[in-house]
Chain A
Amino acid sequence: MGCSSSLPDRNAGRLGSLNSGNSMVTDSKNLRVKLVLLGDSGVGKSCIVLRFVRGQFDPTSKVTVGASFLSQTLALQDSTTVKFEIWDTAGQERYAALAPLYYRGAAVAVVVYDITSPESFVKAKYWVKELQKHASPDIIMALVGNKADLHENRSVSVQDAQDYAEKNGMFFIETSAKTANNINQLFEEIAKRLPRTTPSS
């Protein structure tokens, strides 16, 4: 299933990177971050990524939209940059057991549910538990209620999600990949929460 709002750009592009070093830091000003998306099939993970990647730069640049590995660099106000390397995972049920191979070593996990689907919220909680058990202990987790544009069909309340996120030390936000609402905020908030090796004095 694709993202129905509009067709993606088709600029086959290249993003050269000669990053060296470990899973997160390139240097203190420029971070490179591995981010995985988890959540029930159909909640909008791929759409969120496309929205983020497409909206950010001018559309002629750099990114193969629709690819399963995408990266996007955010320039922050303090003149640092964060390059998000976004690992898409196959959403079909038969591939669910492979997820640990993908979130191993990730610095950030974005757990997505659909605010109109209580089952997807249950699934999100399942992923949070999985991550708590198997992912790196200092992983940053975000809980994302997507499809916020469909609020008239809402069946997961903001309060419930907010409470759950707080209890589990997660950042929570509702987004709409369709209208682009809060998509950039999601990634900016994640960027703020990343540990810096050398805090600016």
Chain B
Amino acid sequence: MDSSSALSQPNFYDFLNRMRHPASADLVRAIKSFIVSFSFHATDADNDSRKLQDFLVTMETTIKEHPLWVHASHEELDSAIEGLEKYVMTKLFNRTFASSSEDVKADLDVSEKIRLLQHFIRPDHLDVPRVLHNEASWLFAAKELQKINTFKAPREKLLCIMNCCRIINNLLLNISMSSNYVPAGADDFLPVLIYVTIKANPPQLHSNLKFIQLFRRNSKLVSEVEYYLTNLISAETFITNINASSLSMEESEFEKNMQLAKLANEETAARHGSILQLSGDDALTTRRHGKEIHVNLEGCEYPFMESEAKDLTVEDVQQLLRLYQHVVTRYTRLTKALARLSLHEERLLHTMKDPASSTELKKEIEKWLHKGILD
């Protein structure tokens, strides 16, 4: 893949140093007044984008003719504009990134959709040829996408995307070299990218893509970089619109999968922050002695209730520990919740045995509800 435009490392410190030079006082003034000029207007993504793009073009000319850069090479000039873009966009980040409520909602929607799809989507649903399946490499590609919010500069965010795509391309290339698989271009690449995107569930995907398109210097959003960015935009679009037919599934099967995924996610949300994630597959199923057991903590289907110590494997112990932590956390929280209602655990348990005390308790609770105590 193209290495020169997106992957080169412009030296940001060099840019900052030059800006400290007395001779660049005029540039510094221009930059400051540009940044300040934003505070006079309400946020408007398209307008902000146009302003930034125009500014970068103007500054490119100014810098080219500036005494500090008279003998500068093409690369040095380019690096200065990169530095400028990074500096300005870092300053304007809060204003320009995920700034509208529509963007925030779009981010939540796509991330929620992905969290559901993660439960049941398989490479086959997307036409990823069997020979290309390689969860390990895909994980590396996904990691690159997940890094996207560790950067504020559009160029660096874009770099995460390019790195992800490069890993996928290398994988495709390696497979075609080590087998007699004949690479099929976009037919291979896009499905893998979509799968990787679903695995990664990159933070604020929608806003990141929008931000890059609006605020990465236009002259850098061309050729290969533009192609791969378009592919991720295309992946986002595909994911947003995924339905039964786009996965070649029966309508009823798709609905069922989505429902199950929703339930599983609600369950996870209920214990969020209190327990380690079940490793590996996100689904709340666990494999034991070759068969799948649904870990349904509300419905009391605990996998180890009938086990004896001698049957347990090391893997089981790990899982047992997770379940133990889960149960304890949940129990602690329930106790606290009851205490907040000034309700004694024992009294509550008693209602299981004694229907009369149950009715009594119900009446009491209804009374509280009336008074709004439970709000």
Contact = CB atoms under 8 A, between A and B. Distances in A.
A87 B218 CA distance: 19
Interface string B1-26: 11111000000000000000000000
B5 to A, nearest CB: 6
A88 to B, nearest CB: 4
Interface string A19-53: 11111000000001000000000000010010000
B223 interface: yes
Which of the four size classes fits the interface of chain B? 35 or more
B190 interface: yes
Contacts of B357: none
Interface string B180-191: 111111111111
Interface string B231-261: 1011001100100011110000000000000
Contact of A91 (B186, B222, B234, B238): B186
Nearest to B176: A66
Nearest to A71: B223
A101 B176 CA distance: 28
Contact of B182 (A2, A20, A92): A2
Nearest to B181: A2
B358 interface: no
Interface residues of A, number: 41
Contacts of B223: 17, 19, 32, 69, 71, 85
B228 interface: yes
Contact of B190 (A16, A68, A85, A97): A68
B78 interface: yes
A102 B234 CA distance: 9
Contacts of B247: 94
Contacts, number: 121
Given A21-B219, A66-B183, A97 B4 contact: no
B47 interface: no
Given A7-B180, A17-B2, A19-B222, A68 B186 contact: yes
Contacts of A14: 1-3
B225 to A, nearest CB: 10
A10 interface: yes
Contact of A69 (B224, B234, B237): B224
Interface in B149-194: 169, 172-173, 176-177, 180-191
Interface string B305-337: 000000000000000000000000000000000
A97 B237 CA distance: 9
Contacts of B186: 46, 68, 88-91
A3 interface: yes
B127 interface: yes
Interface of A: 1-4, 7-8, 10, 12, 14-23, 32, 46, 49, 64-69, 71, 85, 87-92, 94-95, 97-98, 101-102
12 contacts: A2-B182, A7-B182, A10-B177, A20-B222, A22-B218, A46-B184, A65-B183, A67-B172, A67-B183, A88-B189, A90-B189, A101-B233
Given A66-B185, A87-B227, 4 more contacts: A46-B184, A67-B172, A88-B185, A98-B234
Interface of B: 1-5, 74, 78, 126-127, 169, 172-173, 176-177, 180-191, 218-219, 222-224, 227-228, 230-231, 233-234, 237-238, 241, 245-248
